[in-house]
Every structure is written in structure tokens, then in C-alpha cells.
Amino acid sequence: MQEISDLSIELVYLMSDTSLKTIENQIIHQDIFDAAPYLPIGFAELLVLDPPYNLSKNYNGYLFKEKEKSEYQEWFAGVVRLVKPMLKPTATVYVCSDWRTSVLIAPILEKEFRIQNRITWEREKGRGAKSNWKNNTEDIWFCTVSEQYRFNLDAVKLKRKVIAPYRTEDGRPKDWQAEAGGNFRLTHPSNIWTDITIPFWSMPENTKHPTQKPEKLIAKLVLASSNPGEMVLDPFLGSGTTAVVAKKLGRRFVGVEINQEYCCWALKRLAIAQEYPSIQGYADGVFWERNTLSAQPKDKKPSVAQTELFL
């Protein structure tokens, strides 16, 4: 496809040691195992690690096959050993997984990092099961390189509708605020996320990537654990969500992705982000719970969904 060929010119391929300036805000079209030896040491403040889970899945022609438990652990440990030197001493690491994979990677994360928490987020999609509970959650392990790390609490508070708007004795709202769209309260973020929407066909961020993470989800990680101008690393970039969110939120990024077409999808999304920097579910500097779109400030959105760009 000519468009893929044209876009691929913008991609980076590493064959020797490189400077941070060379790869800053760039997408590296390469297997992380091949690219890692050439990447700088100690440059990333935030690592978003979303590797293939231990499931058989086709990633646009690249088939990742489910491994024996010990084999997957060995593979994952190898990934961690590759990327850990790229992190600053104050860096934060977020690792995505499903519940089965979590059991395998937890001992490795505990050995290599300091585990601070485990976030569980609800996928509102998912097929039912006849002889088991429906599987519609995933995990994000919150780890740090050391006990010196940042967590920007105020940047990730959740705006919720107030069901019972209590007032003080003199009639003032108690821990909530009356707005045109209703009564709302800013709440501290917990490690259970029920406000995430999986990208679907009508959402501008949607692509055909089989395990695409929502921009809102990645935005929480980026805002909580990095400051504007700092570097975010994603060694399994996929269709580019981490890079897109980093750009929208004023961070720098380095993304590595083995699939050429996914890299090109990411490039197109980055170009769109230049003109449309909004993130669905994040508006007016706060995250909003589901089903509050009518109350949120309105942002200009792209006129086409991502899936329409790559037919």
C-alpha cells in the first residue's frame, strides 16, 4: 500500500548507539529486543509496558502464541531486563496484564521494582461464560524503581455526580459543587477503575488493533506519574495510544513497535492529535465518570474515526 510506504519514511530504525535527541518524539519500527541495545541509558521518567499477554493472539499477521507458564515468565523477565536500564532512578512503571498473566509477572515485578499497587479496571465489553464468571477486567501494576517517585494526585481526580447532595447547617454544598450539568464532586482516585470505555467504532481514537488501550486510561498514568516535558517510554507501542496521549498532554515520548502498519497508524494518529488534542472522558482538567458526556465541556473532534483512515 502506497500510504504505508510513504509514512514509513518517518519511522526510525536503530543500528548503532543513538542519542536521546535522535529518538525523541519518534516511533522506532523494530522489535524491542533488537532496538534496546542501542537506546540511551536512564532517559525515561515513565514506562508504560503493555506486552502481549500470555494468550494466543494475532497482531496484524504477527501471531503471539500462548506459552508455558515458565516460558512466558522467562520471556517477560527478559523484557524487563532490557528496558530497566532506560529508566531514571525516580521513574514509575505501569505494566498491563490480564488476571492470568498477572499471576505470572507479579513475582518478577516484585524482584525488579517496588510494587506500589495494583489497579483493576473494568472492561464494559466482554463475552459471557457458561461455567465461569464473565471476564471483563484487566490489571495495571503500579511499580517504581525506588521509593522516590512522583504521584500527581490532583491531576487524576475523578468527577462524579452527587446522588445525595448534603448541605452544611448554613445551606452550603458539603464537598460538592452545583454546576449547569448537575451536582458534582471531585473524588480521590482508587485502584478500581469503572469509568473506562473501550474504544469502539464511533470513537475517533478507535483502530483495528485487537488490544488497543483507551486514551483515557493511558492519560491517567501519564498525568499521575510524569510532568510536562518529561519522557514517556512504550516498548510495545501498538497503534500508538501512549505516544498520542503523551503528545496531547505535553510530554515527550519514545515508542517501539515491531509491526509496520501499526507504526503508520500511530503516525496518522499523532498528526490528528496536533489539531484535535482532546481526550474522551477527560475535560476541563479532570476525569469524568461514564455517562456524563452531556455535562462535559465540548471539544472539537475529528470528523472521521480511525478505522476509516486505514481501509
Residue-wise pLDDT for 155-203, tens only, equals 999 998 887 777 887 777 778 887 777 888 889 999 999 999 888 888 8
Q: In the prediction, which pLDDT does 307 show?
A: 47
Q: Which helix (H) or strand (E) holds 257?
A: strand 252-257
For residue 297, the tally of other CB atoms under 10 A from its CB is: 10
Residue 184 and residue 113: Cα distance in Å, rounded? 37
> Residue 238 pLDDT > 60, yes or no?
yes
Read off the pLDDT of each residue in 110-116 and give the average, rounded to a whole number.
98
The pTM is what?
0.93
Percent of the chain with pLDDT over 90: 75
Q: Crossing angle for the helix pair 241-248 and 215-225, nearest 10 degrees?
A: 60
Residue 125 and residue 147: Cα distance in Å, rounded? 36
Q: Which residue type does 243 have?
A: A
Are the beta carbons of 46 and 243 closer than 8 angstroms? Answer: no
Q: How far is CA 60 from CA 29, 238, 258, 278, in A?
A: 15, 10, 11, 28
Residue-wise pLDDT for 126-150, tens only, equals 677 889 998 899 999 999 999 999 9
**DSSP states of 166-212 as a string?**
-B-TTS-BSS-EEETTEEEEEE---SEE-------TTSTT--S-TTP
Read off the pLDDT of each residue in 62-81 and give the average, rounded to a whole number.
97
Q: Which residues of 62-96 are buried (b: 16+ CB within 10 A; e: fewer)?
A: eeeeebeeeebbebbbebbebbeebbbeebbbbbb
Q: What is the CATH number of domain 2-152+190-276?
A: 3.40.50.150
- Cα angle at 172 between 170 and 173, to 5 degrees? 145
Cell match 447547617: residue?
A: 169
Cell match 532512578: residue?
A: 89
Residue-wise pLDDT for 32-64, tens only, equals 999 999 999 999 999 999 999 999 999 999 899
Q: Hey, where are the domains in the chain?
A: 2-152+190-276
